[in-house]
Structure 1
């Protein structure tokens, strides 16, 4: 059987990326889309993806590589209008949650106690729960100290949501002066806790209303009681499930 032409191969990749509903890795495209006798090399696949990206250069959408693979997504210039397709308004994340996420991103792996030491206040269980439910952070192990506290790190979903290919794309801490700058670099919103539309809204159905924060878990007000902070003298229960005991 003759080899698939470049244009037809590009069409297969384009159709798959539009239909998948999530980023696709090179490995998955090679293994799942093609029978063994017609399977292209990863090198050729990358060339076709680069060609697609060039085809989209002047279009309203782009081909972007993120942590989990490749996806077609709407350019950020149009996010303001595209986001109106969903009735749900983006939820609001507290400053405490944003700072916690930023610290995990930059200092991973990190324990809850280490986050509290940097921030100077206790981290509520709800903040950790929300970050895990969003699949932005996960437990990757436990520190070998008394109490065996959980070690938190970011996920591929974190990279996907914030339009990053790897953590290397984050600016170095030396380039950032304070936590406000970290929040801005991560696109985590203004000091009042508003979560903006991500840098680029992925093309339907890759990003949809399902990617909107759940109001019941993330909505906050300007009242201090709801920002997730407590003085360290009122820290969490030492038997909290987020800090497993031996």
Structure 2
């Protein structure tokens, strides 16, 4: 084994073991004084010219790099998973069941303000999209689900969404009084029912202002549902025996409290987004 061949092997080992490109001074300190480094590097580069890795110059330094024609074949696509927050899960469920729905309406149903990134996360996943603008003061943007949403959750159409009774039986929603009261008054759309008309002509994502006009007040909703049987609050109405009606207090309790939206089947806290 000649000294020159040993020097080539030494340079090869140094470059292979280094995490970063090596400069001439870093290589030369391992070689005998007076060694022609440029000639050795040229010879080593020729040995690797047709290999899977090539000796390349990076600025004034040297390093081994994958051959350009091999690099595309080595690309491996990986799936990065990200967990949905509980707020995102609830928001997606509200949009699925109430679409088209505005940001303000989502916040009203959830009972808390909607963070800026929640809708962005669902948009990035491709599960929601702007549906237009509500014909009300402020013209707020309305949101609806996409075909990607149906495909991800194995739904043929929105008609395939489980109903309130199915969700409760499966234990996928919290049967709190507020959501029960909304369903009793008909404020929860059944699968396949259309929401309010929107104007699809302007689909930008500007900040929404105001809420929809024309929505019935709680009193009007109760009056529409119960008609003449509606007993005004505080009227002290009683049954034939003079005892207060038991349902009145229960109805008032159903009006209060935080509301939890129905969660779409198979959407649980921690659902992963595949990207």
Q: Does TM-score exceed 0.5, indicating one fold?
A: no
Larger radius of gyration: 2
Q: TM-score, normalised by structure 1?
A: 0.41
Higher helix fraction (1 or 2):
1
Structure having greater relative contact order (Cα 8 Å, sep ≥ 6): 1
Q: TM-score, normalised by structure 2?
A: 0.37
